[in-house]
Each structure stands twice: as structure tokens, then as C-alpha cells.
Amino acid sequence: MSTEHDASPQRSSFELGTDGPTTVLVAVDGSQSAGRAMAYAAGLARRNKARLVAVYVRKMPVTLAGDAYVTAGATAALDDIENELRAGMREELSSWGVDADFVVCSGEPVHALAEIAKRYRADAIVVGSSTNFLHRIVGSLPASLIRKGQCPVTVVP
């Protein structure tokens, strides 16, 4: 029994026009592993001519008594981290030639990163590995993002 097949490949009705990501989201917090993640993400964005979205999630500390001095001090420390990250990004990204945005939000990091990734339609998320021993037992930011399953997550050591 013989069947005839069209020799031309089947074409899909939708083509993105690129083989790599068009938007790369990277989580930054000033840590050494986040710095390595930023460098990796910037390289990925540059090679793919993609947009880079760096996200700093401000996680407010929980105070038992609602002490205004503790909250004000923590907010000032978070402001300092944000300003350092912003200045460092401007300096590094200008030399790398990457189209980038810097987003600051508050909240729980997994939910905030997932929401920003959805808003920017990120094709890839890059995060630094956790150095906290408890994260190996309880779960880490990368593992939680992977479970959300919105897009590929790369963990940079």
C-alpha cells in the first residue's frame, strides 16, 4: 500500500521570528549570586537582541510590635540597596549595550517575580542560587518559580 506525502515541511500558522528569548527577566538583590545572574542574563539578552528586565523585590521585614523606628530603618536600608543597584545597572548595562528596564516592587519575591514576568511577557527568568541552608529543605526562590511553570528558569550559581 502506497501513500503520497507532501515533501514540503508543515508550517505553523504562528512564528515568533526568533530562536531565543525576546524578554529576559533577572532577579537582583545586591548579593554575589544575583550579580552573577545579572551578568548571565545581560549576556543572554545581548546575544539574542532581547530586552532585559531587572527586578528588585523589596521584602519588608515583619516587626512584632510594629516599631516605627525598625520599619523606618529597614526602609532606609532597602532604599540604599535600590539606589546602589540602579547605579550599578546603569554603569554595567551601558557598556554591554543591552536594552534594559529596572523594576522595583514590594512583596513576596516568588509572587512578585511571577507577576512582573507575566506583565512583561518574559520568555526566560534568571535568578542566582540561594546560599541559605534552609532553602535546601523548605524550598527556594528558583524552585518555587519553576513550580509556577510560566517560562524557563535558569539558576546561576
pLDDT (tens digit per residue) in 8-62? 444 444 445 567 889 999 999 888 988 899 999 999 999 999 999 999 888 766 5
Whole-prediction pTM: 0.73
Alpha carbons 104 and 2: distance in angstroms, whole number:
63
CATH of 23-156, picked from 3.30.565.10, 3.50.50.60, 3.40.50.620, 3.40.50.720, is 3.40.50.620
When the pLDDT of each residue in the chain is averaged and rounded to a whole number, the result is 77
Each residue of 109-127: pLDDT tens digit? 899 999 999 999 999 999 9
Other CB atoms within 10 A of residue 5 CB: 5
How far CA 94 is from CA of 17, 104, 122, 123, in Å, comes to 26, 20, 21, 23
